[in-house]
Amino acid sequence: MADPQKKEEAKQSLLQTAKKWGENPVPPALLATLVFAQHARPLQPVPMLFPPLLLFSTYLNLQGYKIDSAGTTAALSGTYLVLAGRRRMGFMNKFGARGIIRGATMGLCLVNVVGGGLAYSFGSRSKEDGKKSI
């Protein structure tokens, strides 16, 4: 039988891992790279609004605003996920290079929504302000 304490620790560890993911500056930069790769050629103006905003979120994170950056990343990732989910793709096109990149982008968006949402929801502004003043 599985020990209930170990299940609780595993659950807590999963939440902590997702929260750390949301506080990391790399995921929004990676998402900006993937979005740019998909929509730069041919140029699609609406999706190309996301890379600069995601890079700004990375900049916020590097300046010490981890909670605000996590919220921004989660919001932008969720918006892009809805936007990308509306486009239809043929069955055979899903397994080409564009389809694989699109799938990876949407998966990363989903992970960013969860991780960024947890980091924004459970982040402590008092701890963040204490780190910036030093």
More confidently predicted of 30 and 94: 30
pTM for the whole structure? 0.84
Q: Are the CB atoms for 99 and 89 separated by under 8 Å?
A: yes
Mean pLDDT computed over every residue of the chain:
88
Cα end-to-end span (Å), the chain: 48
For the segment 58-97, what is each residue's pLDDT rounded down to a tens digit?
999 999 999 999 999 999 999 999 999 888 776 666 788 8
Using 50, 70 and 90 to split pLDDT, how confident is the model at 134?
very low
Place of tokens 């980091």: 119
Residue burial 27-53, b: 16+ Cβ < 10 Å; e: rest: bbbbbbebbbebbeeeeeeebebbbeb
Secondary structure letter of residue 88 according to DSSP = -
